[in-house]
């Protein structure tokens, strides 16, 4: 499968739906991993969804600065999308 590099170095799979997130936050963080929570409008079902995932130390910098993409699976329709998050979207 081909991929295309978009601005800010986000690798997005060709054909995957894309959207911009609403908010993201770090729920818990240790030296080994962080638990993240993301909120966005799913481009597949058009419903607001909140999902969580794990991030690892190599990604901690981008969580603080924003400007990153995550492949997330909607909790409502179970389909994946590439979601872009900016620093201004981070909540405490």
Q: Averaged over 74-83, what is the pLDDT?
A: 94
- CA pair distance 17, 81, nearest whole angstrom: 5
| β-pairing verdict for 48-55 and 34-41 | antiparallel
Per the prediction, the chain carries an average pLDDT of 85
How does residue 80 score in pLDDT terms, banded at 50, 70 and 90? very high
**DSSP β-bridge partners for residue 71:** 82
Residues in the chain: 92
Residue 70 · residue 53 · CB < 8 Å: yes
pLDDT over 80 at 25, yes or no: yes
Closest Cα to residue 23, out of 75, 74, 84?
A: 84
pLDDT recorded at residue 8: 42
In the chain, where the domains are located: 3-85
């Amino acid at each position: 499968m081909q991929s295309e590099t978009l601005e800010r170095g986000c690798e997005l799979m060709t054909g995957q739906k894309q959207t911009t997130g609403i908010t993201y936050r770090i729920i818990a963080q240790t030296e080994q991993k962080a638990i993240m929570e993301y909120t966005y409008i799913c481009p597949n079902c058009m419903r607001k969804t909140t999902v969580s995932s794990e991030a690892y130390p190599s990604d901690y910098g981008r969580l603080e600065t924003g400007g990153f993409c995550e492949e997330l699976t909607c909790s409502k329709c179970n389909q994946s999308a590439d979601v872009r998050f900016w620093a201004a979207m981070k909540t405490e």
